[in-house]
DNA sequence: TTCTGATGTCATGAATATGTAAAATAAATG
DNA sequence: CATTTATTTTACATATTCATGACATCAGAA
């Protein structure tokens, strides 16, 4: 799936991380210090890296700063792993330019899902334009247009439509939709998704009925 | 939703697990030892299983190893439940091939969400397409087509047809059909299955008569 | 053949999922 | 901090699916 570098001096934890991410079909390389890590990034830049805050030679924050200074690794997705729970650390990590953080002790599932989410987020930012025939989503302008005419969508509507078009021809169930658009678990008794689908359908005019309801399963655009 | 087996010798904990997962709309069967568990998996393979590490007859790790050795259960999603918090256990669990682990004491919510997450993960890796000659089940579109023509099926009909095709050439008795499609026990006097078989036969047109009735046993496709 | 239990078929109300509008919150904006 | 806009929730309407039970039919045993 993706090439991931891990910088973590605690061998036990590093191995857990390696196992978990390999299990999730990623190609993983682990390093116990910053030096080894940089030696490798000079050679091959990974798709994502997981960096512990406390390291023998350099702090994780230092590593992030360096990576951000280098044009080649400026946009490299970074997840910081920290044992310190204070919020200061968290903020600092993000200010320094990490894209996400995980607090120890973490669960394997959490690790996997955060990595997955970040990879997805990055991949999404890469896409400049999405289209479904004459319906165009311009991600740079954050604007949707149909036959040259701009369609005004709210944030959630935009996200939802993007998700549908990114997965055209694939039925998305409510769990997935909730997870991807709202980042939360779907709780059975909510009409939120239907609501947004309804307004989307309305706003998309003739294209509205291309959002199909698959009863008992979810929604799909075709 | 899904059929889940639990192997846990502590009756109290097992009952909590059973209650929690039943509440989350799963069909649950609990076992207090490995022996009973294997007896049942030889019969019907569940969608997921929850295995305690410490058991009277065999260790949870042993069970996992055995399951992984058997082609039928090789990919069966497994969650290990452990009281030992050491990281060694965690790593070992993953090495042994469990897909996730839960540490005791766990919260009911954690249990449910981990189960849900794992099921989703597995479901996604699920088969994209099933076919029986020209009859194609597209699981992404959740659509059935015969010679390019879409056949409109309801949810249950779709499930039933999938089950038949996944087991083509194998007679499925009513118990199994009820269990897999409805997630409930078959109660002798119901015409429900026959009903759906009838509409399926009708909707499948020329392919309809490939669903064979095996008197006193069940149904089979081919 | 006749009998018996299993399966096929049908109509219909109940259950369930989705659609929709409007009110209630929450969030953003100036 | 008031106003606007977006979002979620609630409550209800609508649509579809499904289970059920009564009855018909069938296949095989006696």
- Confirm if A66 and A75 have CB atoms less than 8 A apart: no
Cα A99 vs. chain centroid, distance in angstroms?
A: 9
Mean pLDDT of all residues in B4-13 = 93
Q: For the segment B71-93, what is each residue's pLDDT rounded down to a tens digit?
A: 788 788 999 888 765 555 555 55
- The average confidence (pLDDT) of chain B is 86
What pLDDT was estimated at residue A77? Answer: 94
Using alpha carbons only, give the angle B130, B134, B139 rounded to the nearest 5 degrees: 25
Q: Which helix (H) or strand (E) holds A5?
A: strand A3-7
Burial track A116-141 (b if 16+ CB lie within 10 A, e otherwise): bbbbeebeeeeeeebebeebbbeeee
Please report which confidence band the pLDDT of residue A48 belongs to, taking 50, 70 and 90 as the band edges: very high
Q: Is the pLDDT of residue B37 over 90?
A: yes
* % pLDDT > 70, chain B: 91
Helix (H/G/I), strand (E/B), else coil: A122: helix
* The pLDDT value given to residue B104: 80
Q: Would you say residue A69 has pLDDT above 70?
A: yes
Domains and CATH numbers, chain B: 3-124 (3.40.50.2300), 129-221 (1.10.10.10)
Closest Cβ–Cβ partner in B94, B141, B154 for A169: B141
pLDDT of B198 over the 90 cut: yes
> pTM, whole model, 2 decimals?
0.78
> Chain A residue with minimal CA distance to B97?
A23
B94 — pLDDT class (breaks 50, 70, 90): low
B196 vs A148, more confident: B196
Contact by Cβ (8 Å): A5, A64: no
3-state SS of B80-111 is: EEECCCCHHHHHHHHHHCCCEEEECCCCHHHH
Which of B99, B113, B140 has the CB atom closest to A171's CB atom?
B140
Residue B164 Rama label (left phi>0; alpha psi -120 to 50; beta): alpha
Whether nucleic acid strand D comes within 7 Å of the CB of A195, the answer is yes
CB-count exposure of residue A201 (10 Å: 0-12, 13-18, 19+): middle
Report the gap between the CA of A67 and the closest CA in chain B (Å). Answer: 30
Q: Looking at residues B1-9, what average pLDDT do you find?
A: 90
State chain A's mean pLDDT as an integer: 88
Query: Residue B149: which residues within 8 A CB-CB, separation 6 or more?
Result: none
Decide if A83 touches B, using CB distance below 8 A.
Answer: no
Tallying the residues shown for chain B, one arrives at: 222
B180 versus A37: the higher-pLDDT residue is A37
Instruction: Tell me, yes or no, if A132 comes closer than 8 A to chain B by beta carbon.
Output: no
User: Nearest 5°: phi and psi at A169?
Assistant: 85, 5
CA angle B107, B116, B61 (to 5 degrees): 75
Reported as a single tens digit per residue, the pLDDT across B43-56 is 788 889 999 988 88
Residue A42 to residues A11, A37, B36: CA-CA distances in angstroms?
Answer: 23, 9, 55
Under DSSP, the state recorded for B182 is I
Among A48-52, A129-133, B114-118, the range scoring the smallest mean pLDDT is B114-118
Number of residues written out for chain A: 222
The answer to whether the C-beta of B184 is closer than 7 A to strand C is: no
CB of A117 within 8 Å of a chain B CB? The answer is: no
Partner-chain contact A19 B142, CB within 8 Å = no
What is the tens place of the pLDDT at every residue in B127-152?
Answer: 889 999 999 999 999 999 999 999 99
- pLDDT higher than threshold 90 for residue B103: no
The confidence score (pLDDT) of residue B84 equals: 64
CB-proximal positions of chain C, under 7 Å: 6-11, 17-22
Res. A177: pLDDT tops 90: yes
Give the C-alpha separation, B134 to A6, whole Å.
Answer: 48
Nucleic strand C within 7 A of Cβ A93: no
A198 nearest nt, CA–C1':
C19
Of the candidates A19, A171, A220, the beta carbon closest to that of B95 is on A19
B180 CA to D2 C1', in Å?
Answer: 58
Largest CA distance in chain A: 61
């Amino acid at each position: 799936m993706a090439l991931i570098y891990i910088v973590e001096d605690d061998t036990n934890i590093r191995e857990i991380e390696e196992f978990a991410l390999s299990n999730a079909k990623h190609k993983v390389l682990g390093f116990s210090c910053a030096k080894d890590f940089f030696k490798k990034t000079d050679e091959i830049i990974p798709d994502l890296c997981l960096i512990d805050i406390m390291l023998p030679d350099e702090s994780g924050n230092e590593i992030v700063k360096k990576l951000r200074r280098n044009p080649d690794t400026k946009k490299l997705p970074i997840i910081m792993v920290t044992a310190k729970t204070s919020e200061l650390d968290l903020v600092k990590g993000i200010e320094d330019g990490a894209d996400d953080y995980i607090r120890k002790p973490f669960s394997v599932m959490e690790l996997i899902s955060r990595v997955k989410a970040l990879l997805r987020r990055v991949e999404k930012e890469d896409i400049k334009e999405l289209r479904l025939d004459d319906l165009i989503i311009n991600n740079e302008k954050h604007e949707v247009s149909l036959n040259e005419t701009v369609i005004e969508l709210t944030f959630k509507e935009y996200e939802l439509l993007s998700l549908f078009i990114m997965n055209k021809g694939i039925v998305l169930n409510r769990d997935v939709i909730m997870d991807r658009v709202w980042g939360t678990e779907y709780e059975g008794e909510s009409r939120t998704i239907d609501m947004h689908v309804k307004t989307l359908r309305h706003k998309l005019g003739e294209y509205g009925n291309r959002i199909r309801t698959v009863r008992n399963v979810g929604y799909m655009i075709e």
